[in-house]
Amino acid sequence: MHSYAEFRQQRLAGTTTCSETVSSFLKAIEASSHNAFLTVCKDSALEQATAADARFEAGTARPLEGLVLAVKDNISTKGIRTTCASKFLENFEPVYNATIVDRLVDAGAIIIGKTNLDEFAMGSSTENSAYGVVDHPTHTGYVPGGSSGGSATAVAAGLCHVALGSDTGGSIRQPASLCGLVGYKPTYGRVSRYGLVAFASSLDQIGPMTVNVVDAALVTEIMMGYDDRDATSAEREDTTLDISSDLDISGKVVGVLPAEQLEGLEDSVRAAYDNHIQMLRNKGAVIEEHAMQHVEVGIPTYYIIATAEASSNLARFDGVRYGVRKEHEGEDIMVTSRSNGFGPEVKRRIMLGTYVLSSGYYDAYYNKALKVRHMMSDFYKELFSRVDMYFLPTTPDTAFKRGERTKDPVKMYLSDYYTVSSNIAGIPSISIPAGTDEAGLPIGLQLQTGMFEDAKLLQWAKAMGA
């Protein structure tokens, strides 16, 4: 794995160049069998690397000059194929960049390619891609998590410095946990969603997957900030994520889960969680148990809201305006196009969403989910008036084998047991590496703070060694 912060020091010292680094990554991608990338931007990346070297030599290097970036393939990139890992958009090339892509490129980032994902970001294992599964970066035959599995594998397998993901219910943090990375979901509204192909608009958030928290802070500081093209973008005066100073956690209050809410954890994950709690105690933190309220309905609430919004958002894919168009005599073009263009998991979620929004079921399901969402937000507001940081597992277990859960969607959905609450409430959350299990599979643990306390969250992650 390669840190951008370390690369920049080496480039400034003259021990490497951007061109050498990009060439090395391109060779690694070509040799890789992980299927992490759907599109590789070889020529443009080499051209940008040459320009970046010239800037370093001239002393005009920008904040992210030479950072080699992989972009999840549901984020719009002008002139670069953006498929959402779906046959529906197999040859689609956007005519505009996502806001965060413009900001990162303007700061010096070099896009090396677009990464594989679960189709339209719907999944927890990256087995739902129309272009083949993504392999775990270190354990062949295991999944890297999802839906941002291609991005996680790209960073963990040493194919780029940083990769972007999108997180609707844990799709940055869960694969980061399974691949031994830092995966950061900012506060909802911190980072513009303009140019992100929407899955569930009130839950989606773009964030980085990195080797360490320093890289995560560098990249997110460039991405975040108000965007008038995104109606959900937050106007904030605190626009920096300076984590250069060390956080003294002595006397700080850390909330942890009680034993009854940890019963489903694998033994190795439970041991890592307990060991890190003891580490916090040793550093002087005050540990308090705080049960997560409404956790038993977190997954149902998330999937009701997410599928309802997905049903609405994906209605634009009709086979008429863009994407695949399947004409068949005697059949509706829209029905034929959607039947052939969407995969089974996308169809399942569209049907679920349409059902919970239908007459007679709207109040029974969707309205109740919105009420639970409000209660979960209230829980977090009250919690963070009493604790400085909330500490919990990222996933109940480590990476599982390919095909192990594809026939049991409910078991697959439970991979998000500990992650969906922060999306429902909109708070920032980060997964940090926490060792490995007996088989050498990575373990991740999760930190949460209050709304817009992103700098504080990253300081905590740094203090815990991420």
Any catalytic annotation for residue 422?
no
- Residue among 161, 203, 155 nearest 306 (CA): 203
What are the structure tokens assigned to 182, written together?
């830092």
Any catalytic annotation for residue 381?
no
- Going by DSSP bridges, is the β-strand pair 442-448/429-436 parallel, antiparallel, or unpaired? antiparallel
Which residue out of 171, 192, 268, 311 is catalytically annotated?
171
Burial class of residue 284, CB neighbours in 10 A (0-12, 13-18, 19+)? exposed
Helices (H) and strands (E) in the chain, counts: 15, 11
To the nearest 10 degrees (0 to 180), the angle between helices 454-463 and 213-223 is 170
CA distances from 323 to 46, 93, 120, 136 (A): 30, 10, 13, 30
- Residue among 437, 420, 429, 366 nearest 180 (CA): 437
- Alpha-carbon torsion 238, 243, 249, 253, what sign? positive
In whole angstroms, what is the distance from residue 178 CA to residue 193 CA? Answer: 25
What are the structure tokens assigned to 410, written together?
């409910």
Which residue out of 19, 72, 177, 233 is catalytically annotated?
72
In whole angstroms, what is the distance from residue 456 CA to residue 242 CA? Answer: 9
379 DSSP β-pair partners: none
Task: Report yes or no: 428 and 422 within 8 Å, Cβ to Cβ.
Answer: yes
Task: Report yes or no: 267 and 438 within 8 Å, Cβ to Cβ.
Answer: no
- Residue among 174, 89, 173, 176 nearest 131 (CA): 89
Burial class of residue 3, CB neighbours in 10 A (0-12, 13-18, 19+)? middle
Any catalytic annotation for residue 147?
yes
Which residue out of 19, 86, 124, 147 is catalytically annotated?
147
Catalytic residues: 72, 147, 171
